[in-house]
Chain A
Amino acid sequence: MRGFAELYLQQFKTTFASMVQYRASLIIWMISHVLEPVVYLIVWSAVAATEGGSVGNFTPHEFAAYFIVLMLVNHVTYTWIMYEFEYRVREGTFSAALLKPVHPIHSDIADNISSKLVTLPLMLLIALGLVPLFHPQLAPPLWAITAAIPALVLAFGVRFLLEWTLAQSAFWVTRVGAINQVYFVLVLFLSGQIAPLTLFPSPVQLLATILPFRWMIGFPVELLLGRLSPVQAVEGLGVQLVWLMIGFALFRIVWRAGIRVYSAVGA
């Protein structure tokens, strides 16, 4: 256990030192993370205004709250592993990781968390800056805020494991761009990113509840907006836990098969 703590700490330092070297790209990357939800927010607020004040059960101020919270939740749970994995396999840098006596996922987890530690305070500042512009209406009960903490941790875990698993398709396919594209579209629509899931027709809502995407992003947002009952919150945490276990099992299975392929075709 101490060995792992040490490993994570060192990876934090390494990531931090590398990140501060590229301030410009860091800022560009963060702007893209802010811009997308702000665009949806503006569009939906405009729609709500023309519809006589609200769409579904969202007023423009509630849309503002939804997308600002979504921006933060998405930032916390975001991973970039699917872009990186292909490069690693193609360029052979993966071989270096395979020679180490530690599973490569550890350095990815540590790398992700440490870069979030750097960027999250900035994102919180940006979120605060958006408040006077869009006047979000947000008053979650204390229990919901408390429940959102494990919900966020689980959402991160589920998203990380599933995306790491999917990223391994690079072992089988040389260009994973197409697979990534399909995945990102599914996430966009079924996680609550493009619009709150309650605005979708009920078959889509059902689909979103069965699939993992809502549990990676939408669920903590709904919780923080105070739109869930305590029972729904507990159920949601349970579903997240199940997805975490499924994600872990998939990750293990795919890893074993993937390594076999990788070491058959040549690293």
Chain B
Amino acid sequence: MASPAIHINNLQKTYVVSERESGIKAALQSLIRRRTTKVQAVDGISFDVTPGEIVGFLGPNGAGKTTTLKMLSGLLHPTAGDVSVLGFVPSKRDKAFLRQITLVMGQRNELYWDIPAVDSFELNRAIYRIPQPEYRRMLDELTELLELEPLLRKPVRNLSLGERMKCEIAAALLHKPNVVFLDEPTIGLDVTMQRRIRSFIAEYNRRFGATVLLTSHYMADVEALCKRVIVIHHGKLLFDGDLANLVQKFTAHKTIVVQLEDLNADLSHYGEVVSLEDGHYTVRVPKSDTAHITERLLADLPVVDLLVEDPPIEEVIERVFAQEAS
């Protein structure tokens, strides 16, 4: 088996933060003595990612996702544990390592504000020492995939958020990185733009065989792109495996959507009625009883239509986090 593109073992990161009470007295006290506390942002995470894999990295705000990505890209030193990306120790920031990775953050802008994006691209070409023909080819490819043509020559400050994000992503990928870290690449974008960026990531992965580790708040991103997901919460690993298994593991329920002519039927003795809209009753039932209850519904009622589904992935994730918190 090929060696993993990303390997982390018992990774930990502790931040030391100074804190103080509000008010003038506390402010004066903090001049003399700083009170510090330790925050365990990442608490013993281990996983491997094989080359060419797209992995979704999930967790609520403050779960430690960004901290982990920063350790993987060499911006942060781990407090403890092993990290290896493409055989390099990221925190050493070896030039050969930096040439092969990229980190795209939703809020980060590395494009120069006042000049057209293509000028910033040229600067990146020089920084990464990309040979001219290779640069041209890659730029053409990215321009085509992300539909950048009308944007390249406009000053970046005149672009919309979505247009700028596309240019940021292109700038981050010109050097054809083998490992791509994406931190909320679709944040704040409209649905069409999200979809375009999503399909671009899939295409980039397919075309160049790049390893992609992606965090997102939009489950649609994860569902579309990632077969495998890693879920962390409070810096700890909760789940690592197929997206389908995540649903299996964390849900003991299915939902049955029943359409009836009768708008006032009482279905509460079949299961928990979650919602009712235009005669569409959504009923939550224990997974093991699904077949049995479906049968009864069809027998008892004049059913127009019936649909059995897994609960939406958002709901599953929400449930996972809620369980952990309580």
Q: Count how many chain B residues have C-beta atoms less than 8 Å from C-beta atoms of the other chain.
A: 35
In the bound complex, residues from chain B placing their C-beta under 8 Å from that of A7 are 126-127
> Is B119 in contact with A14, judged by CB distance below 8 angstroms?
yes
CB distance from B210 to the nearest CB of A (A): 16
Across the interface, B98 reaches (CB within 8 A) one of A21, A92, A101, namely A101
Across the interface, A99 reaches (CB within 8 A) one of B76, B102, B119, namely B102
Given contacts A92-B108, A96-B110, are A14 and B93 in contact (CB under 8 A)?
Answer: no
Chain A 7-25 near chain B by CB (<8 Å), digits 1 or 0 = 1011101100110011000
In Å, the complex CA distance between A266 and B126 comes to 28
In Å, the complex CA distance between A266 and B67 comes to 8
Is A181 engaged at the interface, CB distance under 8 Å to the other chain? Answer: no
Is B298 engaged at the interface, CB distance under 8 Å to the other chain? Answer: no
Is B73 engaged at the interface, CB distance under 8 Å to the other chain? Answer: yes
Is A28 engaged at the interface, CB distance under 8 Å to the other chain? Answer: no
In the bound complex, residues from chain A placing their C-beta under 8 Å from that of B155 are 21
Is A3 engaged at the interface, CB distance under 8 Å to the other chain? Answer: yes
Chain B 121-139 near chain A by CB (<8 Å), digits 1 or 0 = 0110111110000000000
In the bound complex, residues from chain A placing their C-beta under 8 Å from that of B99 are 101
> Is A98 in contact with B74, judged by CB distance below 8 angstroms?
yes
Given contacts A10-B122, A263-B75, are A101 and B127 in contact (CB under 8 A)?
Answer: yes
Is B186 engaged at the interface, CB distance under 8 Å to the other chain? Answer: no
Query: Which positions 62-113 of chain B face chain A at CB distance < 8 Å?
Result: 67, 70, 73-77, 91, 93, 95-96, 98-99, 101-103, 108-110, 112-113
Is A232 engaged at the interface, CB distance under 8 Å to the other chain? Answer: no
Is B278 engaged at the interface, CB distance under 8 Å to the other chain? Answer: no
In the bound complex, residues from chain B placing their C-beta under 8 Å from that of A264 are 76-77
Is A173 engaged at the interface, CB distance under 8 Å to the other chain? Answer: no
In Å, the complex CA distance between A82 and B292 comes to 73
> Is A266 in contact with B70, judged by CB distance below 8 angstroms?
yes
Is A102 engaged at the interface, CB distance under 8 Å to the other chain? Answer: yes
CB distance from A5 to the nearest CB of B (A): 9
> Which residues in A have some Cβ–Cβ distance to B below 8 Å?
3, 6-7, 9-11, 13-14, 17-18, 21-22, 92-93, 95-96, 98-102, 260, 263-267
Residue contacts A-B, CB under 8 angstroms, 13 given: A3-B126, A10-B123, A10-B127, A13-B122, A14-B120, A18-B115, A21-B114, A95-B70, A98-B93, A99-B98, A99-B101, A101-B128, A267-B70
Given contacts A99-B73, A100-B98, 10 further A-B contacts (CB under 8 A): A17-B114, A17-B119, A18-B113, A21-B114, A93-B108, A95-B75, A101-B96, A260-B77, A263-B77, A266-B15
